[in-house]
Amino acid sequence: MRETSKNGACVQTDDGLNQYHVPARYLGNGADKRDMSALGRDQVLRVKTSSHEDLLTYGLTDGGTAGLIWGYVIVCVGFLLVFASLAEMASMYVEDLSYWLMTIYPTMAVSNDKATSRAPTSGGQYHWVSEFAPKSCQKFLSYVTGWLCATGWQCAIVSIAFLAGTIIQGLIVLNDETYVFQRWHGTLLVIAITAFSIFFNTFLAKRLPMVEALILILHIVGLFAIIIPLWVMAPRASAKSVFTQFDNNGGWSSLGTSTLVGFSGTITSMIGYDCAAHMSEEIRNAGETLPKAMMSAVVVNAVLGFVMLVTICFTLGDVDSILASPTGYPFIQVFFNSTGSYAGTNVMTAILILTLTASTITEVATASRQLWSFARDNGVPFGEFFSHVNPGWNIPLNSVLVSLAITALLSLINIGSTAALTAIVSLTITSLMSSYIISISCLLLKRIRGEPLPEHRWSLGKWGMAINIAALAYLCPVFVFAFFPLTSTVTVSTMNWSVVMYLGVIFFATAYYWLGGRHKFVAPVALHNSFESLDLANVKPMLSSLSTIVIIALIIGLIYQYFIFPYILSPLAKIPNAHFTSPITSLWILHKRKTGNEIKTIYCLHRQHGPVVRLGPNEISVNSIDGLRTIYTGGFEKTSWYSDNFLNFGTDNLVSTRGYKPHSIQKRMLSHVYSKSFLQNSPDLQRVSSIIVVGRILPLLDKLAQTQEAINVLPLLQGIGQDFTSAYLFGSEYGTDFIRDVAKREQWLDLYEKFKVLHPKERYLGEFEQGCLALCDKVSDDLKEGKTGSNQGTQPVVYAQFYRCLEKDPEDWERKRLTLASEMLDHLIAGHETLGISFTYTLWELSQRPDLQARLRAELLGLSPTLRIASSENEKDSALPSARSLDNLPLLDSIIRETLRLHTPVPGPQPRVVPSSSSQPVTIEGYTDIPGGTIVSSSAFSLHRVVDVYPNPDEWLPERWLNPDSGNSEAMNRLFWTFGSGGRMSPTMRVKQHALSQDVTVLKLVVGAIYTNFTTSIVDDEGIEQEDSYIAPPKGRKLVLQFTSVS
């Protein structure tokens, strides 16, 4: 049963609740009820007394101390005029709404009785614009103003919370010199402060008046608690310098321009006193309370702020030193310089932090009511959801929680760029000032036209028009300068991006309006008591309480999933991030990989952040000896990246095999023929080496020296690598002769360039694979029939070893046939690539140093036998120096090692996966509990540049290997990771752990033969820089050298 109470509130006599589930005691007095009814709105929010507290933000801006003080005075006077105009509108009555209702809804029966009550709605400016704008543009201007207000107040939450959060960071910096200022720490503090404000605005909302009263006391008492120590203890500047010294640190054309640009700092402290209007539905007797609250807040805070500002300016001290304060806030440094006490500075700063936190509570209340009110008029998408007042809460809970989500998302901008987030502060200023300009302009136009204004309880009287004009004269130029950057020299980081954000908001709002919003938005002026004739009782909210809970839970879940867990709770959260988005997405590092910038980028990250860096949500890079040992000897298995890139014939080989156990089995089959002792004593390798070096390489180079013909050595050196590899795999009878057969060499290299860009599935049995498979089948047939040669150098050493291991179990031979071919093809590919790259950069470095060539030649001539070109046919069959004797040449060894360190042919990361079933928690470089499934990797490029192990890491210094520090020698060898670990550990030749690769043996032999007989000089090395890729040849694919014979 419905009845009317004495105060005019419609209540339910059975349970004391109205249709909105609001207890009658919270519905305000009769005047409040009639005021709302005049605009077609039922008052549904709790009413409580409210006051607004704002905080001046201090800082030295363009204009110096004089510009700051006098600019503050101008700003205060200007905003006094502005808020006087707004306060008058807030107190006005609305007359004859029936005419507007009939204009918009001509079919409705509307009473002609005039409404004679004030309109206390939370809409504020957009509501006033709806009342005072010309009829032709009432709806659109009201709509745009609503968007500007909603945007401004949502950004205001971030602005105040960001200020409070980063002041806390500044205080930590002051007290703890070891603390490293991280932007994401500030973001977390912003979210924490906002979350506290949200908590207060929901569960403790009824305590808000009491808390605001306490904050008012703290605000005033805190002012004196700050200024008294400053006046007593701090050295003071002269009045002349404080009040007359203008500065132009922004490089503007004049001091006047500089001072106007600097207004933005002081505007921040004086804007937003219209917040009381957005709480009007929760204020008793709002028609009288609002104007008084707004004007008293402006006056009191202007006076208190002026006292504080003058105090700060007098006690600044050396401006340059406080601007360079590591705290990030000059006033904290002023406090410390003045008191000389950490405790005193902490207390003084804590007062500001408390008042700012309290201001955030108020900002949340204001922003949520503004959004709620605008959504109630269908001004934003999902208006029914935002405007829903949850039964039992009696506050716009949905709008409050959405404000938290918006703040959390905006605060993430700070992780990427503080400058970008600073633009949010400017957006707060420009959005709210725009709403002031539109509102006052509409009121002024009504006055100019001589149209009667609604009755009001707080009037500007005959000065109204003059004050309105003066307010606009102040607002318009200040609005323009609010978009200016602080310096005249604009870069990406110094640009004031608020102009882009502001235009973006206007564009979106306008687009939404014309695309359908105009049909949904109901200007407040269109509402009247006659709406009560509609059966509103049967209009149900679009979202039920259950669906609201589901949506809120979804939002909370998304915030947890994409922010709280990855940034705070994840075991990887303590690891430095490569990029601020790394905890939630791998897009940044994937972009680096795709654009060929991954390897050097990761190296720079390690130099900046240390041995462990987080590349993605579940991916880290490690750059240390201990980390290397943990990852590559701890049973971590390969990722799918290996099979995606190194699979041949659709079949695994040693590189693409992911499982630790099958990889170990296959590796054992080949380990014997790749052991150091086998390589040093193998007669087959000795014979192959003699055939290639004495019979092919030296005659070709001698011919080039005689004709003085320059040559691109890269394809030649790749051919040398292929000849050695193929001969050792299949025997010299089936090996290539790419040194002399240029046409076949070019065909091979061309086929390979096409082959390597294909996905493994696209490669299957293409021309490249078919050629290798045919060769493997031929050698297999000869092994079965015993036709392989018995002479040294003709034995298929590697192939025969692998074939016999697989032949022991002939079952499923077709699969094993492809396994053989896959392994051999991988060796062939790696042979020409890694050896070709290593040869090229060794010759390039030596060609720049003729004196080092001479020293190397002197060392090589001490070999017995030597590597001199044979002077007769009989000498061509003479033995070469043994591999052991080559290993005993310190200068040659240091040259090869340093080349492989600085120009490693395989610099890319070697990814592994942390085992999910590990019985012990995985710890890497002090970071504990690395979760299973995390991708971890190291790269030779970064490991070879650890400064503590390799001083001057980007320089080619062979002497570092000749006389290493006794304590550093072991670390140098342990970090020497040229051929990876376990994956492509010399893709050409697998070796046991810690053994040298055949590549090194071949490198020493060939380089020794070249520099025993020739000198080299550079003709063209354009594009010699290595590619940023897993295997890294020169970008220009060339190195043109001139060979000269030596006697």
For 786-826, how does the pLDDT look when each residue is reduced to its tens digit (9 = 90+)?
A: 776 566 657 888 888 888 888 877 777 888 888 888 888 88
Q: Identify the weakest region by mean pLDDT among 49-53, 420-424, 849-853.
A: 49-53
Length of the chain: 1047
Which stretches of 272-341 are DSSP H helices?
Answer: 286-314, 319-323, 330-339
CA atoms within 13 A on the CB side of 232: 8
Tell me the pLDDT tens digit for each residue of 610-654.
Answer: 999 999 999 999 999 999 888 887 778 888 888 888 888 888 888
- Per the model's pLDDT, the better-predicted residue between 200 and 855 turns out to be 855
pLDDT of residue 875: 55
Dump pLDDT digits (tens) for 104-119.
Answer: 333 333 333 333 334 4
Beta pairing, strands 711-712 & 1040-1045: antiparallel
Instruction: Identify the band that residue 295 occupies on the pLDDT scale cut at 50, 70 and 90.
Output: confident
Domain ranges of the chain: 2-485+494-538, 653-905+978-1045
pLDDT of residue 550: 64
Among 50-54, 55-59, 300-304, the minimum mean pLDDT is found in 50-54
What is the reported pLDDT for 876? 57
* Whole-angstrom distance, CA of residue 900 vs CA of residue 894: 10
Taking the C-alpha atoms of residue 773 and residue 799, their distance in angstroms, rounded to an integer, is 12
Tokens of 116: 């004679």
- pLDDT for res 997: 55
Whether 306 has a pLDDT exceeding 70, the answer reads: yes
pLDDT of residue 458: 77
Report, as an integer, the average pLDDT of 187-208.
82
Nearest to 357 by CA among 206, 224, 201, 229: 201
Predicted pLDDT of residue 877: 58
Say what the pLDDT of residue 684 is. 81
**62 confidence band (pLDDT: 50, 70, 90):** low
Q: What share of the chain is helix, strand, coil (3-state, %, to 5)?
A: 60, 5, 35
* Confidence check: pLDDT of 446 > 60: yes
In the numeric block, which tokens belong to residue 971? 């670390």
Q: How many CB atoms lie within 10 A of CB 187?
A: 25
* Residue 534 CB-density burial (10 A; 0-12 exposed, 13-18 middle, 19+ buried): exposed
Triad 737, 738, 740: Cα angle to 5°: 80
Nearest residue to 502 via CA among 123, 155, 191:
155
Average pLDDT over residues 217-241: 81
DSSP tag of 530: G
**Percentage, residues of the chain above pLDDT 90:** 22
Contact 676, 991 (CB under 8 A): yes
For strand 912-913 and strand 637-638, is the pairing parallel, antiparallel, or unpaired?
antiparallel
Of the listed ranges 445-454, 792-801, 946-955, the least confidently predicted one is 792-801
CA distances from 572 to 350, 866, 927, 942 (A): 32, 57, 8, 21
Residue 636: DSSP 8-state: P
Phi-psi region of 766 (alpha: psi -120 to 50; beta: other; left: phi over 0): beta
Using CA atoms, how far residue 41 sits from 35, 100, 103, 371, in Å, is 9, 16, 19, 16
Please report the pLDDT score of residue 284 as a whole number: 58
Decide the pairing of beta strands 935-937 and 619-622. parallel
Q: Which amino acid type is present at position 477?
A: P
What is the rounded CA–CA span in Å between residue 342 and residue 348? 10
Residue type, 839: F
Closest listed residue to residue 120, CA positions, set 6, 211, 39, 2 = 39
**Strands of the sheet with 1040-1045, listed across from one edge:** 711-712, 1040-1045, 1014-1020
pLDDT: which is higher, 224 or 961: 961
Band the pLDDT of 168: cuts 50, 70, 90: very high
CA distance to 535, 722, 824, per residue, from 800 (Å): 93, 19, 11
Domain 653-905+978-1045 has CATH 3.40.50.300: no
Contacting residues for 1016 by C-beta, under 8 A, at least 6 apart: 843, 846, 847, 853, 1010, 1041, 1042, 1043, 1044
Domain at 2-485+494-538, CATH from 3.90.420.10, 3.90.226.10, 1.20.1740.10, 3.30.70.20: 1.20.1740.10
Listed ranges 484-498, 516-530, 582-596; the one with the highest mean pLDDT? 582-596
Report DSSP letters for 771-815, one per residue: HHHHHHHHHHHHHHHT-S--STT-S-HHHHHHHHHHHTS-TTHHH
Peptide bond into 865 cis (omega under 30): yes
The partner residues of 4 in beta bridges, in order of sequence, read 10
548-574 pLDDT, tens digit per residue, is: 456 556 766 776 777 778 877 788 988
pLDDT digits (tens, 9 = 90+) for 996-1043: 456 788 899 999 999 999 999 999 999 999 999 999 999 999 999 999
> 3-class DSSP state for residue 517?
helix
Please give the model's pTM, rounded to 2 decimal places.
0.56
Mean pLDDT of the chain: 78
Determine contact, residues 980/642, Cβ cutoff 8 Å. no
Tokens of 719: 């051919």
Whether the pLDDT of residue 962 is over 50: the answer is: yes
Range among 92-96, 231-235, 262-266, 390-394 with highest mean pLDDT value: 231-235
| Best-predicted range by mean pLDDT (59-63, 289-293, 960-964) | 960-964
Contact 229, 352 (CB under 8 A): no
For residue 93, the cross-strand partners are: 118
Any idea which of 222-231, 288-297, 634-643 has the lowest mean pLDDT? 288-297
- Per-residue pLDDT band for 740 (boundaries 50, 70, 90) equals very high
Number of CB atoms found within 10 A of residue 664's CB: 12
- Cα–Cα distance for residue pair 646/656, rounded to 1 Å: 5
Confidence of residue 387 (pLDDT cuts 50, 70, 90): confident
Same fold, 2-485+494-538 and 653-905+978-1045: no
CA distances from 118 to 45, 331, 590 (A): 17, 44, 60
Lowest mean pLDDT among 235-244, 368-377, 660-669: 660-669
Q: Which residue, among 249, 246, 293, has the nearest Cα to 272 in the 3D structure?
A: 293
pLDDT band of residue 539 (cuts 50, 70, 90) is very low
* Cβ–Cβ under 8 Å, residues 372 and 122: yes
Task: Check if the beta carbon of residue 436 is closer than 8 Å to that of residue 400.
Answer: no
- Strand ranges (DSSP E) for 803-878? none
pLDDT digits (tens, 9 = 90+) for 470-517: 999 888 888 888 887 777 666 766 777 788 888 888 888 888 888 877
Which pLDDT band holds residue 1045 (cuts at 50, 70, 90)?
very high
What percentage of the chain reaches a pLDDT higher than 70? 78
Are 91 and 288 contacting, i.e. CB atoms less than 8 angstroms apart? yes
**3-class secondary structure for 955-1018?**
CCCCHHHHCCCCCCHHHHHHHCCCCCCCCCCCCCCCCCCCCCCHHHHHHHHHHHHHHHHEEEEE
Average pLDDT over residues 139-151: 87
DSSP string across 412-447: THHHH-HHHHHHHHHHHHHHHHHHHHHHHHHHHHHH
